[in-house]
Amino acid sequence: MKKKAFSGVQPTGLLHIGNYLGAIRNWVGLLNRYECIFCIVDYHAITVPYDPLSMQEKILQTAIAYIACGINPDKCTIFVQSHVPEHTELTWILNTIAPVGRLQRMTQYKEKITKAAPLPFSLPQEDEKAAKMGLLDYPVLQAADILLYKAEVVPVGEDQVQHLELAQDLARRFNNEFGPLFPEPRTLLGSAPKILGLDGKKKMSKSMNNYISLMDSPDTIRKKIRKAVTDPIPLFSKGVVFSEQQLAVTNLLTIYLCFTGKNKEEVEEHFQGKGYRELKDELAEVIIEKLKPIQEKWRSLESQPDDIWEVLKKGAEKCRKIAGETMKEVKDRMGLLR
């Protein structure tokens, strides 16, 4: 029996190259070695304000993105989190062993509450703006996603490491209290676990508007890359090289490296004697070329939405079986079954 790998992406709209290089690209490499389950985590996406009218479209787009990026649905299971009720059921159970203080200290939670609640949210009249329970509980739901399938590896980007440490901790706590049931899931980081945005400062993300979408047109990609922030050339600069002192340029080189498959030395040699202008021009063309097959596949999939919904339906049926079995074991251990 193959070991299980599990991962997921929030349906927040078109995915960006950070999602692709940091996570999805690595999933493709696992398809033959693991029993892979890839989820579209809509319950996570509703922990911040969102538009219900576009949710179904975004779920569909995320499924299309998975398949267009090479996640062959014949070789794995793709499904929508809310189609498998056991995710919230296990979340409740894990809530009973999850330390609140640990959740309050989560980096992503702290970042999100500063956005959600700019005013002191102890004031009762500010309830509407205050952080909601779902946001605090977000990492417990993520742990439930993984443990429900007894996944052993979880391929993600660096920003998920802290959440996965909690999942490991909850597996351990459950096993200690109720007897061994869950494997401790291992975090699998790829070669580019943190792609910065084109501002060269923060991680590439939808909310920072510093991203290249997988569906950006060639012209948009050229424009965005041309405007990408570069570092001032340091004194005694060795030119366009990977360097701790030049994070923005290093990030552009990393994207170039990922898309060309070259190693660091080859990339530096390639840009020896060249300037930022050449780096940007070449990088834009490489991204355009590498996204082309993904975009073509995307367009053909987009014209058959019923086929995609069918993949998701089959995926949910399969997952409900596995999840149901795990919940029986969980409840049995906890004295909740007769």
Give the catalytic positions in this structure: 112, 203, 206
Which residue is nearest to ligand TYM, using beta carbons? 22
Q: How far is the CB of 286 from ligand TYM (least distance, A)?
A: 18
Q: Long-range contacts of range 166-172, CB-CB < 8 Å, 24 or more positions apart?
A: 166/98, 166/102, 166/103, 166/106, 166/139, 166/140, 166/142, 167/139, 167/142, 167/143, 169/102, 170/94, 170/97, 170/98, 170/140, 170/143, 171/143, 171/147
Would you say 270 or 318 has its CB closer to ligand TYM? 318
Both tokens of 268, joined, read 């530096």
Closest to ligand TYM by CB, 188 vs 330, is 188
Answer yes or no whether residue 203 interacts with ligand TYM by CB under 6 A: yes
Q: Kindly write down the DSSP assignment for every residue of 36-97, as one continuous string.
A: EEEEE-HHHHTTS---HHHHHHHHHHHHHHHHHTT--TTSSEEEEGGG-THHHHHHHHHHTT
Query: Binder to ligand TYM among 142, 213, 246, 254 (CB under 6 A)?
Result: 142
Q: Does 37 bind ligand TYM (CB under 6 A)?
A: no
Q: Which is nearer to ligand TYM, 264 or 277 (CB)?
A: 264
Scanning 68-76, 192-200, 212-220, 227-235 for contacts with ligand TYM by CB under 6 A, the matching segment is: 192-200
Binding-site member from 3, 102, 173, 194 for ligand TYM (CB under 6 A)? 194
State in angstroms the smallest separation of the CB of 98 from ligand TYM: 15
d(CA 142, CA 14): 21
The count of other CB atoms within 10 Å of the CB of residue 265 is 9
90 binds ligand TYM (CB under 6 A): no
Q: Which two tokens stand for residue 211?
A: 């991203």
Element (H, E) at 8: strand 4-9
To ligand TYM, the closest distance from the beta carbon of 118 in angstroms equals: 22
Cβ atoms of residues 109 and 135 within 8 Å: yes
Single out the segment in contact with ligand TYM by CB under 6 A; choices: 50-58, 168-176, 197-205, 226-234. 197-205
User: Pick from 47, 61, 91, 160: which binds ligand TYM (CB under 6 A)?
Assistant: 160
Is 112 a binder of ligand TYM (CB under 6 A)? Answer: no
Binding mask 41-70 for ligand TYM (x = CB under 6 A): x--x--------------------------
Smallest gap, in angstroms, from Cβ of residue 54 to ligand TYM?
16
Q: Tokens standing for 236?
A: 């005694």
DSSP code at position 213? B
E strand or H helix that includes residue 6: strand 4-9
Cα-based torsion angle of the residue sequence 311, 8, 11, 14 in order, rounded to the nearest 10 degrees: -90
Residue from 18, 73, 200, 315 touching ligand TYM (CB under 6 A): that is 18
**84 is a site residue for ligand TYM (CB under 6 A):** no
Q: Is-contact 168 188, C-beta < 8 A?
A: no
Which of 44, 222 has the CB closer to ligand TYM? 44
> Is 195 near ligand TYM (CB under 6 A)?
yes
Interacting residue with ligand TYM among 9, 65, 98, 249 (CB under 6 A): 9
Helix, strand, coil % (nearest 5) of the chain? 55, 10, 35
Site residues (CB under 6 A) for ligand TYM? 6-10, 18-19, 22-23, 41, 44, 142, 145-146, 154, 156-157, 159-160, 163, 193-195, 203-205
